Amino acid sequence: MPYVHIVTALAILQFMVFGVRVGAARARYGVPAPATSGNPLFERHFRVQANTLELLVALLPALYLYSQYFNPLIAAGLGGVYLIGRELYAFSYVRDPGKRGPGFGLSYLPIVVLIVGGLFGAIRQVVMSRG
């Protein structure tokens, strides 16, 4: 489980870094708080952070569900793919939002695998305990 804990900490830190980037973009492009629009480049940074939060809410419980019923090292590896995908997503989205697809896929698909695996493992556990 320590690998899962490391990925968890890295995912939270990555989200925080994206928040710092939003603050820097706010200053750089003159978008005063609490505004969330006004400059397209600021808005891209803002969307990266918001989109990452949306996936982080799914990633964290999915990591732990999968780890509970299957191999924590595999869960951590899938979490690592998510982290790389989010970095690629952030880089691509800020440069050209139309090219964010590969980064999105690399961060979304591992979550799907973790959730489906965790759900399957839980159902299997219930069925086996009744048998």
pLDDT in tens, 3-16: 999 999 999 999 99
CA distance 27 to 31: 7
Of 59, 57, 52, which Cα lies nearest the Cα of 112?
A: 59
* Domain map (residue ranges) of the chain: 2-130
Evaluate whether 79 touches 60 at the Cβ level (below 8 Å): no
CA distance 62 to 84: 17
State the average pLDDT over residues 30-57: 97
CA distance 94 to 114: 28
pLDDT of residue 4: 98
72-129 pLDDT, tens digit each: 999 999 999 999 999 999 999 999 999 999 999 999 999 999 999 999 999 999 999 9
pLDDT of residue 131: 67
Evaluate whether 115 touches 75 at the Cβ level (below 8 Å): no
CA distance 48 to 44: 6
2-130 CATH fold: Four Helix Bundle (Hemerythrin (Met), subunit A) (1.20.120)
